[in-house]
Structure 1
């Protein structure tokens, strides 16, 4: 495994941000274009950007990349639409002269940028978009993804409910690529975990425009034993508030994708439901390795805030990028793609590899239960689920992914 020595050299102290940057003897910066939904999805994207800047400074304080060149991240808002994102991606390549692209949040936006990267034959490191299509049916040579996708995270949740007695299940998910992908995976895997289980209701409200009253009413009318929720952001807040008011969650098993992330738990406050089985991140509750603890302290010191899941993703992404640049030792696209396929990086959460077969990263996430602590939502009983244990099989990848 190729190692980056950031934890010892640049991350060991909470005052990391005050480290003096090396002069680099006027070395030309290596510019990386990062586009994301900084306006629309600020709760996730701003902490993500903060941590990327923290990691960039750590890389540069440790001597830069490719023999002493500074890394420079060029941040742009992707407009949260496929058309805007492609336009921004083009501008980053042609006007900003970036070496390659990274980022995006929404799945439909990520797919559009992936297609653009494939057409332009330029590397795109997708960080947040969770649809399985980005590494499966619409995967391509030039696109890689860091985060575990909907299949991987849904499989983690399915494992957590294996053997439970809930037979009648309802699904609520945002009506776009990510929500549809997550719902399809849950339906696919539910029967293996709970024999005889069935889906009795499905609700797909428009992203950002959930009618919480109507949605909760429809789910309650179906009388489910369990609910699989995929809503996030303001939609989740409205759904939880209405569900609590109507008693929707009482005596029911609730499994919820992403709800354990601080980005979405914090807005719930004292309305956080108890005992939902979730994926997420609770930096003050987990048993983190030393490099991870150092990251948490450095983030708190610089931003006077606790890191979010987006923060973790942003830092790990820069660690992978730095490792990639050092391994490839060139900005030629084909060499970068070849170097990233199979690349193993020592990160603040341990080893993360980019599987060559489908370009999916092995970064995992935490699985636990929601709980209230001092009037705030958090996770309890959280355990790290290594993404390497939840990936599509090689047979499924080869059947779904177009030939190279």
Structure 2
């Protein structure tokens, strides 16, 4: 009997059933995640909690065909060169299946170029610059969050309803800020050909001189202001503008300001009635969001933030791609990503367009307010990202030839 058993085991390679293959089926699927944790903790820490929760849930349900997801996460410190070095280590030494994450647009673009050179899938979770999927788009890069163009178009739709004709803009002087102003001007001018832009302010990112910026905006005497500052620059701008009455009887349309990461730190200095994109976690009552918010609060003891949604949806998208591909090979994953549908998420269903690799995940548009002393969004609606994108035919023309 012993000889028979040993003979049967020895015959396994002939059947294509090696012990190594059986073991491989149980190995985890390694995902490489890169983000600016020390540089931008207000957004990236909730984002990390979001993807951790999603990984835990996917694995609790059996993983991907029995294989667990495992994330190798590293901090790029807000430096593109560091991000590239980390990506190289993850791909060549750790053997990750794909890369995801990044926050700042310049880092997202750098990792996207790395992904193209190394032929590895990169899901850009957060960078907003339009170049990522249009002028510098490539075969290996997809983007999750609603882009600069999409969110600017959502705000332009609301701005067009105002009486304002003369507009001023303030935005950080790098890819994201430049794209945000360009898109807003184009969309608002399309909807309201009578508007004009009388002043532009371009402070360096996270180094705003709020006093001089506000004085320049004040001197231009605009009817309304379009603001793109965020992070530590935003409260400085709000405080200085309020002291100088810049916002009195003057509408402000502000990108991202309704996100809890940026809104909550304003505290009782929160301006009333700014038109913003953001996220009102306590007010969303869809079944999917309620389940997500409860699981998040049970695990972390706090309300989810915008970053939480982005991290969570990143893993949902990756899991959907892996299931659809039935493989961890890059070419199979790229084929799966084209037109990939994520049917159920806290923000509703979304898909990744084949033409430009942009997801149709939307954003919430509303107004800032203090409710019971807490900064929040009111009068909000969910704007479906698909409604604020050019057609796939038009978008394909914006990309370089592959």
Would you call these one fold, judging by a TM-score over 0.5? yes
1:260 corresponds to = 258
1:295 corresponds to = 292
Matched-pair contact (CA < 8 Å) for 1:285–1:380: no
Give the C-alpha shift of residue 73 in structure 1: 1.2
Gaps in structure 1 of 5+ consecutive residues: 1-23
1:227 corresponds to = 225
Gaps in structure 2 of 5+ consecutive residues: 1-22
1:50 corresponds to = 49
Inter-partner Cα distance in structure 1 for 2:325 and 2:213: 50
Determine helix, strand or coil for the equivalent of 1:79: coil
Give the C-alpha shift of residue 394 in structure 1: 2.9
Inter-partner Cα distance in structure 2 for 1:348 and 1:251: 36
Inter-partner Cα distance in structure 2 for 1:395 and 1:163: 29
1:129 corresponds to = 127
Inter-partner Cα distance in structure 1 for 2:160 and 2:188: 9
Inter-partner Cα distance in structure 2 for 1:267 and 1:196: 36
Inter-partner Cα distance in structure 1 for 2:287 and 2:315: 18
2:19 corresponds to = none
2:31 corresponds to = 32
The reply on whether 1:308 has 2:305 as its aligned counterpart is yes
Inter-partner Cα distance in structure 2 for 1:26 and 1:340: 23
Give the C-alpha shift of residue 263 in structure 1: 0.2
Inter-partner Cα distance in structure 2 for 1:25 and 1:192: 55
Matched-pair contact (CA < 8 Å) for 1:285–1:379: no
Q: TM-score, normalised by structure 2?
A: 0.92
Inter-partner Cα distance in structure 2 for 1:394 and 1:312: 26
The reply on whether 1:105 has 2:98 as its aligned counterpart is no
Inter-partner Cα distance in structure 2 for 1:176 and 1:305: 33
After TM superposition, the structure 1 stretch with the greater mean CA deviation from structure 2, 392-401 or 79-88, is 392-401
2:63 corresponds to = 64
The reply on whether 1:334 has 2:334 as its aligned counterpart is no
Matched-pair contact (CA < 8 Å) for 2:223–2:251: yes
How is 1:168-317 mapped onto 2 (pairs within 5 angstroms)?
168-286=166-284, 288-317=285-314
- CA displacement 1:197-255 (0-9 Å, x = unmatched): 11110001001100011111110110010100000011001000111111111111100
Inter-partner Cα distance in structure 1 for 2:396 and 2:295: 42
Give the C-alpha shift of residue 376 in structure 1: 2.0
How many matched pairs?
379
2:341 corresponds to = 344
After TM superposition, where is structure 1 displaced by more than 6 Å over at least 4 residues in a row?
none
- CA displacement 1:92-118 (0-9 Å, x = unmatched): 112221111001000011001001100
Determine helix, strand or coil for the equivalent of 2:204: coil
Greater length-normalized contact order (CA 8 Å, ≥ 6 residues apart): 1
